[in-house]
């Protein structure tokens, strides 16, 4: 099996296409090599089901191959405000203008992936899907 060639900087993401190119010779379905569209649809269906289990049903999900578990944790805000930059005012004055905007809720929801040390640098790619669903469900 071909090894993924990753550069050694912190926030390098690996796309589905790169993963597919690495493992495609081992993906055989009905005595044929699986196409990228089939592979992608399987991965997206798995992630959608995972999102439903974690976000809607509030379950702690164990991932296959001892990759850890995923759940949503309710955390308390440590600071009472966000810092927001006013772009228009900064352009007009020539200096950086910041405002303190109060946080309206005391808690926020965080997606937690408890993983063993071999997977520490991995990230959940479709985090946007999780965020959209977490924001619609609200109560944890």
Residue predicted with more confidence, 13 or 101: 101
Average pLDDT, the chain: 78
Q: How confident is the model at residue 2 (pLDDT cuts 50, 70, 90)?
A: low
Domain ranges within the chain, ordered by starting residue: 16-137
pLDDT digits (tens, 9 = 90+) for 29-84: 888 898 999 988 998 888 888 888 888 888 888 888 887 888 888 888 787 788 88
Segment 121-125 shows an average pLDDT of: 61
**Contact (CB, 8 A) for 4 and 18:** yes
- What distances in angstroms separate CA 134 from CA 51, 57, 70, 109, 131, one per listed residue? 9, 11, 14, 8, 5
- What is the CATH topology of the domain spanning 16-137? HU Protein; Chain A (4.10.520)
Q: How confident is the model at residue 133 (pLDDT cuts 50, 70, 90)?
A: confident
At 9 the pLDDT is 44
């Amino acid at each position: 099996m071909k090894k993924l060639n990753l550069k050694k900087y912190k926030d390098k993401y690996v796309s589905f296409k790169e993963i597919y190119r690495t493992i495609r010779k081992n993906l055989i379905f009905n005595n044929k090599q699986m196409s990228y569209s089939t592979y992608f649809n399987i991965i997206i269906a798995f992630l959608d089901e995972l999102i439903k289990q974690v976000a809607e049903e509030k379950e702690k999900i164990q991932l296959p191959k001892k990759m850890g578990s995923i759940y949503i944790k309710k955390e308390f805000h440590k600071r009472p405000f966000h810092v927001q930059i006013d772009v228009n005012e900064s352009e007009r004055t020539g200096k950086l203008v910041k405002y303190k905007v109060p946080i309206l809720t005391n808690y926020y929801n965080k997606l937690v992936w408890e993983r063993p040390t071999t997977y520490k640098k991995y990230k959940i790619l479709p985090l946007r899907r999780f965020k959209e669903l977490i924001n619609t469900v609200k109560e944890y």
